[in-house]
């Protein structure tokens, strides 16, 4: 049943140079690499070190030159402005070339950094590709990010130019960006030479003469720039991870290995061919946006969708179904929290009945662990394979997945299926000893890592080694805890710092959350660990109830406490649970468990820069107080 996948996977592990050498043939090189892998200085692995190419050429110019110029490259669907725009490959190439010409006129050259601070508009994607066209290094920062956090990134990346928009739109709320940018530049030690600002009609920005320039005016008469060849190991972009106190972690992805891995993944993981419509419902501020809103689909010659809106509220819980039908989406990629939000608003799937989504062939979930109940709900209403897969900012593409383009394996809810070809995933204890089938431990990946993963941290090689490779020599430390069963199916159960130690018994937050969300009136939940003098740590559960819930909260809490006792056992010591209206999350949908744990323990905490709505933390603090936490 897994014969085809096993054959591909085995070759990738046993003969990585042959495997990835073959995959590299699908990329357009201006200088074809003679060396596939240089692993002489691990963990600083280098793929295709003597090759040269241009990422923008591979995503745009190549397709125009080979007959796809009239095909739609990008569909911009803005629910918040009631706009739908389709941009062909030829139009996209021409606009990107002119924007690259503007950057060039500001002195931007190969190796220079450019910070992009924009909402989900087509110009944001064009900005990334224009940088790639010149060989400059882009660093996308979430539009609307706090000024102090933006300043930290400006100081670290030291951009020559900043590309920004006057504002973003969150549902119906307009968020001015330019004032935040001005404040960030005032705070930062490094000052950019110029800022190119896209004026949106919802909020026109005040411009600083001599530094700020109007995007549209500059592009009108700009001379189109040609593609600049770069070495395969030349940085394509820097993407800063969360945790920005002190020196930030600027994750660096190269050009050649990243292009090879993404183009290979589009067919082999997502089963996408040239001409297909692919939708990654994310944000360009996340690695998902880089890999699968921009580079991956365009490398493949597919049509990518840029959606400015929410899964619910713009205007309702049928927003995603409307887009799938209207644009004939073949594959959708989003976070599990998206489907939890839709399920909460429309638990019976009534909105889906209004649309014909028969074009959809598969749903991919990533960004946070998908509980089996949510996966089953999504499968039942869509009747397509629902594939949970696992990857990180650092890897840039999937570590584990059900590779539909190779062979669709049996789907096991709660599992990520198998390690993707190229990744040798193992589960070990702190002494780097392999664990038995099904035993909870640290998930690590044996070196060398495949192409496409990060090649370092910007200007910080020491932290690169210390943070990811020091604790488990010869392996990449993922920071996630999980299990691998006898069929080599991998399950990620929690971040390693979210594993709860109850009187010496290691308990994953994911295992408890599976039980909680299985309750028919619970739409979403989170489990955190709190300090306990007797047992060391205890689990605390937070529940969000479905919109059609009819039972009182106390009864539901009693029900789930009993379920955990019956399913996991008394060893879980699960007695603390409460109902909340919402959970604090990042913009990508990750629940801020560590922050909530600090609130419950009465510790000082910093409001995470990526939080979707900081006011939720006050609500959580109030909820904890109703059950007696913090105790002091």
Give 382-428 pLDDT, tens digit per residue. 999 999 999 999 999 999 999 999 999 999 999 999 999 999 999 99
Residue ending a domain, among 482, 515, 549, is: 482
Q: What is the pLDDT of residue 57?
A: 98
**pLDDT score, position 609:** 79
In a domain, 490, yes or no: no
Query: Are both 257 and 287 inside the same structural domain?
Result: yes
197 CA to centre of own chain: 26
The domain boundary, picked from 456, 482, 508, lies at 482
- Is residue 474, in this structure, part of any structural domain at all? yes
Q: What is the pLDDT of residues 327-347, one digit of tens each?
A: 999 999 999 989 989 998 999
Q: Based on the domain organization, do 550 and 613 belong to the same domain? A: yes
Task: Looking at the structure, tell me whether residues 51 and 197 fall in a common domain.
Answer: yes
pTM comes to: 0.90
Q: Do 469 and 505 lie in a common domain?
A: no
Q: Which of 625, 609, 496 is nearest to 241 (CA)?
A: 609
Ordered alpha helix ranges (H), 518-615: 553-567, 593-600
> In sequence order, which ranges of 15-161 are alpha helices (DSSP H)?
16-23, 55-56, 62-63, 89-105, 122-134, 147-157
- Residue 191, in any domain of the structure: yes
pLDDT digits (tens, 9 = 90+) for 421-477: 999 999 999 999 999 999 999 999 999 999 999 999 999 999 999 999 999 999 999
Q: Is the pLDDT of residue 243 over 50?
A: no
415 and 519 fall within a common domain: no
pLDDT given for residue 246 in this prediction: 46
Which one, of 406, 299, 396, 302, lies nearest residue 27 by Cα?
A: 299
User: Does residue 11 fall inside a structural domain?
Assistant: yes
For residue 498, give both structure tokens. Answer: 């979210």
**432 and 513 fall within a common domain:** no
Which residues are CB-contacts of 231 (< 8 A; sequence separation ≥ 6)? 49, 51, 52, 255, 256
Q: Mean of the pLDDT values across residues 96-104?
A: 98
In a shared domain, residues 449 and 574: no
Task: Reply yes or no on whether the pLDDT at 223 is more than 80.
Answer: yes
Query: Per-residue confidence at 536, pLDDT binned at 50, 70, 90?
Result: confident
Residues 150 and 97 in one domain: yes
- Rounded CA-CA distance 292/150 in Å is 24
Tell how strand 490-495 and strand 505-507 pair up.
unpaired
Is there a single domain that holds both residue 128 and residue 214? yes
Q: For residue range 486-503, list pLDDT tens digits in order.
A: 999 999 988 887 778 887
475 and 560 belong to one structural domain? no
Residue 25, in any domain of the structure: yes
Note whether residue 603 is domain-resident.
yes
pLDDT at 247: 60
Total domains, the chain: 2
CATH at 127: 3.40.50.12780
Q: How far apart are CA 468 and CA 479, in angstroms?
A: 8
Residue 270 counted as domain residue: yes
218, 207 Cβ separation under 8 angstroms: no
Q: How many C-beta neighbours within 10 Å does residue 588 have?
A: 23
Q: Rounded to the nearest 5°, which phi and psi values hold at 319?
A: -55, -45
Q: By residue range, what is the domain housing residue 89?
A: 3-309+389-482
Closest CA to 54 of 297, 238, 231: 231
Bond before 448 cis per omega within 30 degrees: yes
Q: Are the beta carbons of 584 and 596 closer than 8 angstroms?
A: yes
Q: Indicate whether 518 belongs to any domain.
A: yes
**Do 250 and 457 touch, CB atoms closer than 8 A?**
yes
Domain boundary among 482, 507, 522: 482
Could you tell me if 404 and 540 lie in one domain? no
Q: Which positions ≥6 away from 246 have C-beta within 8 Å?
A: none
The CATH number covering residue 528 comes to 3.30.300.30
Domain check: are 43 and 166 in the same one? yes
DSSP string, 495-541: EGGG-EEETTEEE-HHHHHHHHHTSTTEEEEEEEEEEETTTEEEEEE
The whole-angstrom distance between residue 131's C-alpha and the CA centroid of its chain comes to 21
Q: Tell me the C-alpha distance between 52 and 520, whole Å.
A: 55
Q: Which of 392, 465, 456, 452 is nearest to 421 (CA)?
A: 452
Contact (Cβ atoms closer than 8 angstroms) between residue 515 and residue 567: yes
117 conformational bin, left if phi > 0, alpha if psi -120 to 50, beta if neither: beta
Task: Say how many residues make up the chain.
Answer: 632
Residue-averaged pLDDT of the chain? 94
pLDDT tens for 49-88 read: 999 999 999 999 999 999 999 999 999 999 999 999 999 9
- How far out from the chain centre does Cα 183 lie? 27
Nearest to 378 by CA among 405, 349, 411, 407: 349
């Amino acid at each position: 049943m897994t014969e085809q996948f096993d054959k591909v996977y085995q070759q990738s592990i046993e003969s990585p140079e042959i495997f990835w050498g073959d995959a590299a043939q699908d990329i357009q090189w201006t200088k074809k690499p003679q060396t596939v892998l240089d692993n002489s200085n691990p963990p600083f692995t280098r793929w295709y070190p003597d090759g040269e190419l241009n990422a923008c050429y591979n995503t745009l110019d190549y397709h125009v030159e080979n007959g796809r110029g009239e095909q739609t490259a990008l569909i911009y669907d803005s629910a918040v402005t009631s706009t739908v725009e389709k941009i062909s490959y030829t139009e996209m190439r021409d606009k990107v070339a002119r924007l690259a010409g503007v950057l060039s006129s500001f002195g931007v050259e190969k190796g220079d950094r450019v910070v992009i601070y924009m909402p989900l508009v087509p110009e944001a994607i064009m900005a990334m590709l224009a940088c790639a066209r010149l060989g400059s290094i882009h660093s996308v920062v979430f539009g609307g990010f706090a000024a102090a956090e933006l300043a930290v990134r400006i100081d670290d990346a030291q951009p020559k130019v900043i590309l920004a928009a006057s504002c973003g739109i969150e549902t119906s709320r307009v968020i001015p960006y330019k004032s935040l940018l001005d404040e960030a530049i005032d705070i930062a030690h490094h000052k950019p030479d110029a800022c190119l600002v896209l004026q949106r009609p919802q909020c026109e920005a005040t411009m600083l003469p001599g530094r700020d320039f109007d995007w549209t005016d500059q592009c009108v008469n700009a001379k189109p720039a040609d593609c600049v060849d770069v070495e395969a190991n030349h940085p394509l972009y820097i993407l800063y991870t969360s945790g920005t106190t002190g020196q930030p972690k600027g994750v660096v992805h190269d050009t050649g290995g990243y292009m090879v891995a993404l183009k290979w993944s589009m067919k082999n993981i997502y089963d996408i061919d040239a001409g297909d419509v692919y939708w990654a419902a994310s944000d360009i501020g996340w690695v998902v946006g880089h890999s699968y809103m921009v580079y991956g689909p365009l490398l493949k010659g597919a049509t990518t969708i840029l959606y400015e809106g929410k899964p619910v509220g713009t205007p309702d819980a049928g927003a995603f179904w409307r887009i799938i039908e209207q644009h004939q989406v073949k594959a959708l990629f989003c976070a599990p929290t998206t489907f939890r939000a839709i399920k909460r608003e429309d638990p019976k799937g009534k909105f889906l009945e209004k649309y014909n989504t028969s074009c959809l062939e598969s749903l991919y979930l990533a960004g946070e662990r998908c509980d089996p109940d949510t996966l089953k709900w999504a499968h039942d209403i869509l009747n397509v394979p629902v594939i949970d897969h696992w990857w990180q900012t650092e890897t840039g593409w999937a570590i584990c997945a059900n590779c539909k383009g190779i062979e669709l394996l049996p789907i096991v809810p709660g599992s990520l299926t198998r390690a993707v070809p190229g990744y040798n995933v193992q589960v070990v204890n702190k002494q780097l000893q392999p664990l038995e089938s099904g035993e909870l431990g640290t998930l690590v990946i044996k070196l060398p890592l495949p192409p496409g993963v990060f090649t370092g941290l910007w200007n910080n090689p020491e932290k690169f080694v210390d943070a990811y490779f020091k604790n488990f020599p010869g392996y990449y430390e993922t920071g996630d805890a999980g299990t691998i069963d006898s069929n080599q199916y991998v399950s990620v159960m929690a971040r390693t710092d979210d594993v709860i130690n109850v009187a010496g018994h290691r308990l994953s937050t994911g295992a408890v959350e599976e039980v909680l969300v299985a309750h028919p009136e619970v739409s979403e939940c989170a489990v955190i660990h709190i300090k306990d003098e007797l047992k060391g740590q205890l689990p605390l559960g937070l529940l969000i109830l479905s919109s059609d819930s009819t039972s009182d909260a106390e009864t539901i809490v009693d029900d789930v406490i009993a379920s955990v006792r019956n399913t996991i056992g008394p060893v879980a010591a699960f007695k603390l649970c409460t109902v909340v209206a919402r959970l604090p999350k990042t913009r990508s949908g990750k629940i801020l468990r560590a922050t909530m744990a600090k609130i419950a323990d009465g510790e000082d905490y910093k409001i995470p820069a990526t939080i979707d709505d900081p006011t939720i933390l006050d609500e959580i603090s109030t909820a904890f107080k109703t059950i007696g936490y913090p105790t002091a």
